[in-house]
Structures are given as C-alpha cells and as structure tokens.
Amino acid sequence: MNILNIENITKVYGDKVLFEHVSLGINEGDKIGIVGVNGTGKSTLLKMIAGLTETDTGNIIKNNQADIAYLAQDADFEPGDTVLSYVCRGKISPNPDWNLEAQAKTILKKMHVEDMEACIETLSGGEKKRIAMAKVLLAPAKMLLLDEPTNHLDNGMIVWLEEYLAKYKGCLIMVTHDRYFLDRVVNKIVEIDRGKLYTYDTNYSGFLELKQQRLESEKAGYRKVQSILRTEIEWVKRGAKARSTKQKARLERFEEMQNMREPVENKSVEIQSMASRMGKKSIEINGISKTYGGKNLIKDFTYYTVKNERIGIVGENGCGKTTLLKLILGIEKPDKGSVTIGDTIRIGYFSQMAENMDPNEKVIDSVKDIAEYIKTGSGMVSASQMCERFLFTPEIQYNPIGRLSGGERRRLCLLKVLMTAPNVLVLDEPTNDLDITTLAVFEDYLDSFAGIVIAVSHDRYFLDRIADRILAFEGNGKIVQYEGNYTEYMSKVLEKSMPLQEGITKAANSKNIESCKDTWKNNREKKLKFSYKEQREFDTIDEEIALLEEKIREIEKEMEMAASQYSKLQELTEEKEALEQELELKMERWVYLNDLAEKIARL
C-alpha cells in the first residue's frame, strides 16, 4: 500500500540545485536508507517529508493515516527540560488505559537512561541522543524519519537500535553513514546524485553492486550513442537532397545525440599524506587516574604508543573515552600520573563536535588561517587546491561557512586538521556527519598515514577497517587492551565471558559458586615468560623488519625503472606482494612479543 508520494519536486538552496523534478513513491514496509555526498540534500529531503521545509515546486502527498515521527541530527531541547518532561511533551495517549508516563519510563530504561528527572543540559551528547530517540520511539508513528540516528550512541545502544528497527513494522526512512547499520536494517537504498534520485531495492552491500552496474550501463549507452553519432555526422556532411519529414526527424535525433552529456561519476575527496617526521619518543601515559563527581573514569592506566599503530577506543557513553583523549591532548589534567609528549610529536585533533567557526567567514579564508601552502607527497599545494581536493569548488570556497551543510562543515574541519601536517591523529567520533564516500577515502588515507592514529568511535565498520588494537573501557576506570580490530575484540570478549558464565551455571547447580569461580580463574591463568624460541625471535625481529622494509623500497625503485616492461613489472609486483605479506606477519609477531615483554616486565 502506498503511503507517501514525492511528485516532481524541485528544491534550490542558494545557487545549488538540490533536487530537479524528482519523484519517489514510498510504500508500507519500506525501510529506506538515503545516501549521497555531504551537501546533496539528504537532511533537506527528510525535512520536506516531515513538513518542516517546503519544496520550491512539486508536491509531497501522504496518506491520512501516515503519521510521522522525526528525529533531527541535533535535538531541540528547551532550557530547564528534564528527561521525562521532554520525552512526554506533545505526546497524546492513544487510548484512556495507556499510561504515557509509565510507557516513557519503560522506553527510557531500555535506552539505559535511569535518572528521569535529570536536567538535559547537564548530560553528554550520547545521553541526549538516546533521550531524543526515546521520544521518537514512544508510541511510534507509522513512519519514522531518522537523521543520523547512530551519532553519539555507543556500540551497545547501536546494536539495540539495529535490532529494534529491524523488527519495526512501520515505514522507516533514515540518513546514516553507518554501513553495517544500513546492511542490517534497510531493504531499499535511495541515492541522491546531482539533483536526481536513484532507487535500489536492496541493502547497502547490494546497492554498491547495483550502482556499479548502473554506471557501467550509462557509460555503455553513451559509447553506443557516440558510435551512432559518427555515422549520422557522415550523413549530415553529405547533405540531404530533399527535406522530407523523415529526414527532419533524423536531423532532430542527431541534434539530441550531439547534446547528450557523458555520464559523470561523483568526485571523491583526494587526501595525500601530509605528516611530519616523528622521533623515537611519542606519547607515554604513566599510571594516570581521573575521577568526576565521585565516579572513577580512569584508574591507574599506563600505555606507551608505538610508531604507526592504530588504536580504537570503545566503551559506553559517559565512561571516559573523550576524557582520555583530553588527558592526552593536555586539555584536562590527570588526578594522578602523567602524560608525556615527545618533542617531535604534532597532534591533529578532530573533535566530536565541529569547531566553533564564524558562519560569516569564507571557506577559503578559514583554510588560509592554517596555511597558504602545504607540502604534500606531490609537492607544494595551495589552500585553494586543497579545498578543491576536499570537494569545495571555487564557487563554494567563496561562500560563507554558514551556508555549508553539517557534513560539509565536518569535512572542512577535517581538512583544517590535516593541513597542520600532524604525525599523531586524535579522532573523537570522526565518522559523525561525514558521508560514506568521504569516509572510504579517509580510511584509505589512514592506511598510508605515516604516524599514530588514536580514534574513539562507535562505527563498527570504521574500527574494523582501521584499528589494529582496541582499548576497551570495562567499568570502574578499568581499561583493557585487545589485539585486532573491533570484530576480533568482540569475539575475544565473548570467549572471555563464556567460560565464566558456564562456570557460574555449574556452580549454581552444585551450590558452590565461589569454588567454580576460582576454578575458572585458575584455568585461565598462564605463566608469563619467553620460551627459548620467542626470546631469540624477540632479539632479532627489529632487524628482520628493517631488512624487509629495505627490500620493499628497492623493489619499488626497480618497478619505477621497469614501468614499460610488462613481464618484468609483473614479476616485481608479485615479489613485492610476497614481501609485504611476510612483513605483515612479522609486524603481528612484533606486536605480540613486545606486549608479552611489557607484561613480563610488570611482574
């Protein structure tokens, strides 16, 4: 059953055409994910459907029974709002027996909000997002419009919301950058591309394949027209002997083919390495502790960063993840312990919230405040050229920042951070508001970034993609280190908890819980010491890694010289890939052996 129709709408914002005569039908059971580059109009489309923004032309017609609940990117709270008063405000009980306040408390508890009378102004970004979500889900409408619902939520809440929306019976339309979320919740993707809408009846993974097929089909169609056009040009050159109706139609068709534009793929952000040289000493965290309001956020935490490592930091909202970053940055001071930064370390901080930028300042002037020119791998690049690489065209560069979308402002913040040529990137929720295309390019950039990356993120795909070590906040100030990406971390957490749970179950049956816990602890303890083979490996592995890196550099030089010799180039490529695989294995062993050495030293 059709519940909403978008009919031939056009929307222009400033000098940018967001939508040009587009139409879309929405049916019961549709769970739609809207994707597109920042600034293409994703949030605007949601606002038009919600009735908060008007179209320039065309109509949006909805079924009378299609009541709508809308979650904005940033919820609008009034001064003095408490949790319960905000969630209940404006809600009407569907029947006399329905207790609105009781239902509100139930949904808030599911969202892990315990203090119903807390003043919202005092809460964290993640807590505010959960409260706004609770208001939308309370007595849910038949159509949910969600703009970046996963922003600021911790991983546990994202999984809960994912499961809730997967079971939700109504219609769902959402904008999100979370690729796992899109894969598991939606059954339709709507892509916004240069003012047009493209619909794909699939989830995100299927969309990637179908989009590629669409682009290839468009290119094939264009090539076919160009082939026909060459024949038509010859016919026109010969000249028609008579101006018959048939010949006039042929000439008109010729004109149409001449005016056909070649399919254009969306440009993506171009990021080149701009890191500064790093010395031997990087960041040393020595026994730090931090308490807020009587709550232990961080307790006796020690960590020494290693060159080029990629650290992902996870934990529940309010556990202290951002506080840890601020302690590293020197914004906050620890209650106990110290953080020492090496002399050559240059930190680039991409904060959770967009920096306070003057809305009247021009984009190009904001970038020039950092540097007029920056040195990259391809030479000196001007501020204007860097803007273009980040998809800010010359026209947009001279627009005031206030006219940028939320995602475009985040992209501008990222550009300014990278313009400082840091060798340590500290990222606090870096995926918030960035479009998927920009995220993919940023992830590729981090692969080749010559420095350390420390990222707090709720985005499971991002952490799977970039992290090789996870620091997990596990309550009462305890931070535990896990090797691998997010998925590997979760599997280790499950492995760690399953033996304990099995032990507790057996103990309950035998009424000997304490004894069973001790058994489990004894079984998991391992004697920490190097074997003879490990000691020899530990003593030589640094030299072996250096030798492999040197061999790879030599092959790369040979490849440059053999660029025109296909067979030789193929041989060198295969040799390089084999060495890189060997290097990757060596690096994994290096991490393991150094961690073991560090643990042994603490005993």
> How confident is residue 462, by pLDDT bands cut at 50, 70 and 90?
very high
Model pLDDT, residue 420: 86
Model pLDDT, residue 50: 92
Question: Distance of CA 520 to CAs 48, 351, 438, 481, 512, Å?
Answer: 58, 42, 46, 21, 13
CA distance 11 to 383: 31
Q: Does 242 have pLDDT greater than 70?
A: no
**pLDDT tens by residue, 308-332:** 899 999 998 888 999 999 999 999 9
Lowest-pLDDT range of 337-351, 370-384, 526-540: 526-540
Model pLDDT, residue 440: 83
Distance of CA 194 to the CA centre of its chain: 22
Residue 250's CB is within 10 A of a number of other CB atoms, namely 15
Q: Does 500 have pLDDT greater than 70?
A: no
Model pLDDT, residue 435: 82
> Which tokens is 283 given?
């960041």
CA distance 572 to 552: 10
Model pLDDT, residue 162: 92
Better-predicted residue by pLDDT, 301 or 510: 301
* Local structure of 202: helix, strand or coil: coil
317-350 burial, b if ≥16 CB within 10 A, otherwise e? bbbbbbbbbbbbbeebebeebebebbeebbbbbb
Better-predicted residue by pLDDT, 38 or 84: 84
Q: Does 454 have pLDDT greater than 60?
A: yes
Model pLDDT, residue 243: 46
> How confident is residue 234, by pLDDT bands cut at 50, 70 and 90?
low
Model pLDDT, residue 96: 59
Residue 57's CB is within 10 A of a number of other CB atoms, namely 13
**Closest Cα partner for 407 from 19, 40, 34, 20?**
40
Query: In the chain, what is the straight-line distance between the N-terminal and C-terminal CA atoms, in Å?
Result: 67
Model pLDDT, residue 523: 38
Q: Does 554 have pLDDT greater than 90?
A: no
Better-predicted residue by pLDDT, 348 or 269: 348
> Which tokens is 520 given?
């489990």
Helix axes 566-602, 532-561, angle to 10 degrees: 150
Give just the sign of the alpha carbon dihedral 186, 191, 197, 201.
negative
Q: Does 483 have pLDDT greater than 60?
A: yes
**pLDDT tens by residue, 94-138:** 555 568 888 888 888 888 888 899 999 888 777 888 899 999 988
Question: Distance of CA 81 to CAs 129, 317, 341, Å?
Answer: 14, 20, 41
Model pLDDT, residue 373: 84
| Residue 408 parent element (H or E) | helix 406-419
Q: pTM surpassing 0.75?
A: no
CA distance 144 to 189: 16
**pLDDT tens by residue, 128-166:** 888 999 999 886 688 999 999 988 888 888 888 999 999
> How confident is residue 411, by pLDDT bands cut at 50, 70 and 90?
confident
**pLDDT tens by residue, 198-219:** 999 999 888 888 888 887 777 7
> How confident is residue 19, by pLDDT bands cut at 50, 70 and 90?
very high
DSSP string, 211-274: HHHHHHHHHHHHHHHHHHHHHHHHHHHH--SS--HHHHHHHHHHHHHHHPPPP-PPP-------
What mean pLDDT is reported for the chain?
A: 82
Question: Distance of CA 242 to CAs 59, 141, 248, 251, Å?
Answer: 47, 66, 10, 12
Better-predicted residue by pLDDT, 539 or 596: 539
CA distance 402 to 358: 8
